[in-house]
Chains A and B, each alone.
Chain A
């Protein structure tokens, strides 16, 4: 198919763009196969808008006389308006945008056409391989093995070709267990807690059905992760009620009689359209500036978004707590094991594992726990909050996860190597991107699409030092502790960086952010200068053959680079 067929009017002059928080600009609108481009004539360069068609969630048009107006609502929640003179041009452009933003075939998407303008230093497709992950693991324990049972995706179509399982369970047993778990998603290792050797596994629901089917291999598999005499916890992300109802459809949950060493805990994390509705309501509330206080608060409440955040965080804290405080192993699953399960396992790792709070560690987490684990990005992120076509499978599961990470980041602003912009960037790319990373629903689909050969990985771009600079948290100081967030409603906040991003003036906040950076940089500069001067002085003094005390040339260390600071102790004199 040629994109040209879809573009009847490729260009409209004298169009007016009304963007969020900026004055209207007159200019020329151009449509290409993948972009909507608007350039104003007023200034050379700078004033151009490039919008990926894939980012467009919904297009609305209306007419006043012969002046047509197109309102474009984007998946990143931005809303722009284009005034286009001429009814026919306007109609043509609107229908082109609509068609181009809802292409059926993945292979027509921009990532398959995108040619990077930067030099690829490191191929992101090879940055986070399960084999590397396993290597790290085998340096601390030999109780696990890398299984290739799924190398042709026949055991579980939504799992990657290689997974980590207990050493004592052979591939034959895995195949049997796969038949007992929904979608073949047998329990696999999600996280190994080095501190006490406890593990977190994830799977889908067991297919017990109404007659209470059991599977000895399944029991053996998960029991293999328990220390002798120790108990484990199964965290079922569905309420007991929902889990019970699932039995009628062939699903179910682990029964106490067959899993006597496991204690089951039910949490209630919502899925699918409930979450999508929640997002739609939240965005609606945030976009209406005319709401009075009562209406705003009741809309915020009615969206239930923060309730979902609290539920997800609470479940993740619980899992982390079982592992770290209780010294117990944990199995997490919901029904499919591709949504709420992954929210819980990935957030628990953020809480427990300092590595996940670094940029590379977080990327590895997203690759491991979301992409390879088979979260169906293509389905879930097909549309965002404005779409009129409400499909059952659309849900902001990944956005909720990012929001939860943001909540933790806000409570521990020095413990993360990345900043809020990094999370927002991931949100944007999950919904529309020039990179192939979030295409497809699982590794199986991705390998069929040959993404690694035909598209560029997001990580190839992000991990370049130029880009990383934008995403680094200047306050970061590696901290090896477990971080326990507060989940009290008073401690949770609306993620303004995403939901109010286009609705509130951020000039003063941005400038303040810059000032923070200035202070930090200035501090580093001064530290360096003091050290240099001290050295110089010390040299001068040795030149004079003075018997000098070396204390003077001890380099100054920033107090914020130390474990803790006592302000009463002047860091410069303390030596």
Chain B
């Protein structure tokens, strides 16, 4: 609280991000310990969590005041104009302090209290049980066992305690192999395909340099390939571009030499590193945030940002992996440099394509817990939870979600969850409101005692899963759907407007078929229930015409309205896609929300010779 110098500023203007005529809403800005709040004159509230703030910028003073631009990690961008420079300066400084947290304990999750009792909290954390998940996959079994080698994080600090390895991989082999792998991240099981008996394994790059070998590591790989009775050889996928991997050799790292490992097929798949991805997203956002953008600038910006190329590369890699398993029944070992970014993307997407369980709401949570959280994707660094090295920030997880979204577009019936689910998860990866994504690895999370001090996100999402259900989902719709074979021809990849412009409502379709169908299938369930009740009543009526009884039944036949109340924890959050709000009103036809109306203001001004209407915004050039 000591950072807050001003708690309330009046007469602040909120500018329309894409308006060329500086259309704005006037209101009051409030600073709380956790949120920035703007209430406009029509009492509409905009809540911004401090942790969501990626950057605050003070622009040069203008005649109407001091502009303050806030960019958020959930791609909201707000542009305020504060009348007095001093106030602006205070807000700016407060936000700088508040959005940069030095210690985990200061994050929102530690103060957030959803009014759950302790046992609910504990139960919440137990919702996802990875041991159960491995059991579901069919391990331990004759070939794979649980290893206690890392029980005390002695072999690898960034791995979870429980690791599954081939039965034939003895402790010395594990230890030896881990010494030959970057950060000790030796090959372990990520996904086991019961039918094919093939495995997806993951690790980091070998410390091979130009010529180093490690017998234990070679044994380890052999053990993995022998653990698959259906195929003798295995694939080793290096998800980096070949050049990067070669450059790593100079630093004593590198990739597997096919001559030293028996029965491996080595393959580069060329996904760029975190730095390339970071700047790619930055370029994408620059382009999509341009006022008065032309179609060609948009498309060439999309191209030069490389963003869709990267998404395609990630999905292509996953498709390669899936083919190896589904077609050749071969096990695959996936790694990149450290094995926590690209490796997580490829392993999790591969499993998602192979196993329909991960396409259920619960299954997707499990997948994220397994391949991202437990295997040490550095959420804290990548999402900049604490004030740290900006070079560590990278949208690796966002790319994963975007890849999933692309799959959902191609297979509208294959997923139990919908786009809103992905957006909500993205929101909370950055919100630091729940404990799940805090820290960089399991060891760190245990040290922070997150399970006692914070809450898990998953039960909250499950509670409101109605919002995240895909009405078109059909779990046993077609046996071919167990395995998804996406088409990765370039034209299938589209700009994810609902992610990058989720707060720019005027760009969205004004009516959503999806919301409508969602409501309708919800209503269908209610109607089915009603029919049952009515039929029972009629039956009873015919049987025993007892007036009193009937009266009672009638009351029970009318259950209280299903209140889709948001749990208190979500109250402060702006709905991502306001799924249920006034489905049938057409926003675009309402002057307030529609940028053409500026045109009218413009008309009353100068007399133009030429009027151009761009970007949905009328602009006049005389």
Identify the A interface with B (CB < 8 A). Answer: 240, 263-267, 286, 289, 291-298, 300-301, 304, 306-307, 309-310, 314-315, 317-318, 321, 325-326, 410-415, 475, 477, 479, 481-494, 500, 503-505, 508-509, 511-512, 515-516, 519-520, 522-523, 526-527, 529-530, 533-534, 536-537, 540-541, 544, 546, 552, 556, 558-560, 562-574
Complex CA gap A70/B318 in Å reads: 38
Contact between B538 and A523, CB atoms less than 8 A apart? no
Complex CA gap A503/B542 in Å reads: 60
- Can you spell out 24 A-B residue pairs with CB atoms less than 8 angstroms apart? A263-B607, A266-B610, A292-B309, A293-B306, A294-B309, A317-B596, A412-B586, A415-B511, A475-B516, A487-B615, A489-B297, A491-B497, A504-B487, A515-B413, A533-B534, A540-B541, A544-B541, A544-B547, A559-B523, A563-B584, A565-B519, A568-B561, A570-B561, A572-B527
Complex CA gap A192/B472 in Å reads: 42
Contact of B584 among A410, A526, A560 (CB under 8 A): A560
Given known pairs A298-B300, A489-B298, A540-B542, the reply for A508 and B534 (CB within 8 Å) is no
User: For residues 231 through 256 of chain B, which have their beta carbon under 8 Å from a beta carbon of chain A?
Assistant: none
- The minimal Cβ–Cβ distance linking A27 to chain B, given in whole angstroms, is 28
**A residues near B596, Cβ cutoff 8 Å:** 317, 321, 325, 484
- The minimal Cβ–Cβ distance linking A187 to chain B, given in whole angstroms, is 20
Q: Is B308 located at the chain interface by the 8 A CB criterion? A: yes
**A residues near B614, Cβ cutoff 8 Å:** 314, 487
Q: Is B616 located at the chain interface by the 8 A CB criterion? A: yes
Complex CA gap A529/B177 in Å reads: 67
Contact between B545 and A564, CB atoms less than 8 A apart? no
- The minimal Cβ–Cβ distance linking B521 to chain A, given in whole angstroms, is 5
Contact between B613 and A488, CB atoms less than 8 A apart? no
Complex CA gap A247/B528 in Å reads: 70
Complex CA gap A304/B507 in Å reads: 21
Complex CA gap A572/B534 in Å reads: 13
Contact of B509 among A263, A412, A503, A574 (CB under 8 A): A412
Given known pairs A265-B611, A292-B309, A494-B491, the reply for A412 and B531 (CB within 8 Å) is no
Contact between A515 and B296, CB atoms less than 8 A apart? no
Contact between B296 and A321, CB atoms less than 8 A apart? no
Complex CA gap A326/B550 in Å reads: 61
- The minimal Cβ–Cβ distance linking A293 to chain B, given in whole angstroms, is 4
User: For residues 291 through 316 of chain B, which have their beta carbon under 8 Å from a beta carbon of chain A?
Assistant: 293-300, 302-303, 306, 308-309, 312
Interface-located stretch among B25-33, B330-338, B597-605 = B597-605
Q: Mark B519-554, 1 if CB is under 8 A from A, else 0.
A: 111011011101100110110011001010010001
Complex CA gap A546/B618 in Å reads: 65
Given known pairs A291-B490, A564-B584, the reply for A511 and B516 (CB within 8 Å) is no
Contact between A412 and B507, CB atoms less than 8 A apart? no
11 extra interchain contacts, Cβ-Cβ under 8 A, other than A484-B596, A512-B412?
A: A325-B600, A484-B588, A484-B589, A486-B506, A487-B615, A488-B293, A489-B295, A508-B412, A537-B537, A537-B541, A544-B545
Contact of A301 among B296, B412, B610 (CB under 8 A): B296
Contact between A488 and B18, CB atoms less than 8 A apart? yes
**A residues near B585, Cβ cutoff 8 Å:** 563-564
Contact between A486 and B588, CB atoms less than 8 A apart? yes
**Nearest 9 pairs of A and B residues by beta carbon:** A512-B412, A489-B298, A296-B490, A297-B303, A301-B299, A526-B527, A293-B309, A533-B534, A570-B561
Given known pairs A296-B491, A488-B615, the reply for A479 and B530 (CB within 8 Å) is no
Contact of B507 among A488, A500, A509 (CB under 8 A): A488
Given known pairs A505-B487, A567-B580, the reply for A298 and B303 (CB within 8 Å) is yes
- The minimal Cβ–Cβ distance linking A458 to chain B, given in whole angstroms, is 28
Contact of A560 among B510, B583, B600 (CB under 8 A): B583
**B residues near A515, Cβ cutoff 8 Å:** 413, 472, 474
Contact between B517 and A485, CB atoms less than 8 A apart? no
- The minimal Cβ–Cβ distance linking B18 to chain A, given in whole angstroms, is 7
Contact between B411 and A508, CB atoms less than 8 A apart? yes
**A residues near B588, Cβ cutoff 8 Å:** 411-412, 483-486
Contact between A293 and B547, CB atoms less than 8 A apart? no
Contact of B298 among A265, A293, A481, A490 (CB under 8 A): A490
Contact of B530 among A492, A523, A569, A572 (CB under 8 A): A572
Q: Mark B500-515, 1 if CB is under 8 A from A, else 0.
A: 0100001111111100
**A residues near B523, Cβ cutoff 8 Å:** 523, 558-559, 571-572
Contact between A534 and B534, CB atoms less than 8 A apart? yes
Q: Is B572 located at the chain interface by the 8 A CB criterion? A: no
User: For residues 1 through 19 of chain B, which have their beta carbon under 8 Å from a beta carbon of chain A?
Assistant: 18
Nearest B residue to A301 via CB reads B299
Complex CA gap A487/B538 in Å reads: 55
**B residues near A534, Cβ cutoff 8 Å:** 534
Contact of B612 among A267, A504, A536, A544 (CB under 8 A): A267
Complex CA gap A314/B595 in Å reads: 12
Q: Is B144 located at the chain interface by the 8 A CB criterion? A: no
**B residues near A415, Cβ cutoff 8 Å:** 511, 586
Complex CA gap A558/B520 in Å reads: 9
Nearest B residue to A327 via CB reads B600
Complex CA gap A541/B558 in Å reads: 17
Complex CA gap A106/B298 in Å reads: 44
Q: Is B410 located at the chain interface by the 8 A CB criterion? A: yes
Q: Is B493 located at the chain interface by the 8 A CB criterion? A: yes
Q: Is B495 located at the chain interface by the 8 A CB criterion? A: yes
Contact between A511 and B618, CB atoms less than 8 A apart? no
Contact of B561 among A264, A310, A504, A573 (CB under 8 A): A573
- The minimal Cβ–Cβ distance linking A124 to chain B, given in whole angstroms, is 31
